[in-house]
Amino acid sequence: MRLASKDVLGLQDMSTTDMQLILDTAESLKEIISRPIKKVPTLRGKTVLTLFYEPSTRTRTSFELAGKYMSADTVNIATTTSSVVKGETLRDTAKTVEVMGMDMVIMRHPISGSCHYLAKILDASVINAGDGMHEHPTQGLLDMFTIRQRKGRLKGLRVAIVGDIYHSRVARSNIWGLTKMGAEVVVAGPSTLIPPYIEELGVKAYTRVEEAIEGADVVNVLRLQLERQQKGLFPSTREYARIFGVNQERLALAKVDYLLMHPGPMNRGVEIASDVADGEHSTITEQVTNGVAIRMAILYLLLGGATDETAD
C-alpha cells in the first residue's frame, strides 16, 4: 500500500483514503513503541534527513525516533550549525544532501510553501514538518488519530479549536483534515487572531470561547505564538488568559466526556490553565506518543510499504 504522492505536504490536498490509510497504519505500528526492543527491520538501508529552520522538540525528535525504530538511518541538520549560516540557499542545501543519497527530507521552515518548493526540485520524498503559517500535516494527523482512538470515530464529533487561529498551521491542518472526515469544527479566539476567510474553510467562528466550547466533544487549545505576534493583536497575556484562557469553568460547558488537547509547547497559565492541562480529560502526553506512531506510518507508507516486514 502506498500514498498517492511521494510527499506529505498538507491535508488540504490529501484524500480521505490516504488519511484513513495513515491512521490505520499508525494503529498497527503503535505497539512497537511499547516493546522492550523497539526495532523492526522495515526501513533498513533507507536514509532520512530532518532539516529544521525553526525550533522543535516534539516533531523533530518523533520523526527521528520513528526512523530509528524502523531501522532507517536518520541524519539531522541543525541550521544554526550548518552552512545555512554562511548564506547557503535552501535549494543548494537540499540538492547537496540529496546527492549524498537521502531518500526523504523532513523540513520545518518559516516560509509558507517552502516544502512544496522542495518537493518540486527533489526526487526524494519531502515531508512538511510545519511551513510558516500554512500547514503542519503530521500534527493534524496525530490529533485525528488521538481523537479516533479515544472516541472510536471522527464523523459527527464537535471539535472546538481555541486560541491563536491566525498564526496556526496546526489549526489549518486540523480544519482541513477533520472537516473532510466529517467532524463539525468550530473555532474561537480574539477577532484579531481569527483570519477573515476562516468560515470559507467550512467552520463556524466565535469570538467568545464559551460559545465554541459549549457541547464540544473535543477542545483543542492552541499555543499563543508570542514569537509571531505583531504589536496590538491583544492587550496582554494576562488579559488574554482572563478572556480566552481555557480553564475548568469554561470546560464545564463541554460534553461530560470531552477530550482536552494541545499540540505543545504550552504557555501554562496563558492559553491553558495548568490544572486542566494535567487533568483527567487531557490527552496531551498521549498526543506526543501518537506523534511517533503517525510518523512511523508515513515513513513506512512512503519508503517501505511494498512488503510487510513490520513484525519481528
> Which is nearest to 176 in space by CA: 124, 137, 131, 229?
137
Using the minimum distance from each CB to ligand CP, give the nearer residue, 79 or 96. Answer: 79
Q: What is the DSSP string of 234-269?
A: SS-HHHHHHHH-B-HHHHTTS-TT-EEE--S---BT
Give the Å distances, CA to CA, from 102 to 80, 91, 129, 187, 276: 21, 15, 17, 39, 42
Cβ–Cβ < 8 Å for 112, 134 = yes
Q: Which residues are catalytic?
A: 58-59, 86, 108, 136
Cβ 67 to ligand CP shortest distance, Å:
15
Cβ 56 to ligand CP shortest distance, Å:
3
- Identify any residues that bridge with 246 across adjacent strands, giving them in sequence order: 272
- Identify any residues that bridge with 158 across adjacent strands, giving them in sequence order: 184
Using the minimum distance from each CB to ligand CP, give the nearer residue, 132 or 264. Answer: 264
Cβ 263 to ligand CP shortest distance, Å:
4
Give the Å distances, CA to CA, from 239 to 106, 193, 243, 269, 270: 37, 14, 6, 11, 9
Using the minimum distance from each CB to ligand CP, give the nearer residue, 15 or 57. Answer: 57
Using the minimum distance from each CB to ligand CP, give the nearer residue, 184 or 271. Answer: 271
Cβ 154 to ligand CP shortest distance, Å:
20
Site of interaction with ligand CP (CB under 6 A): 56-59, 130, 139, 263-265
Cβ–Cβ < 8 Å for 72, 299 = yes
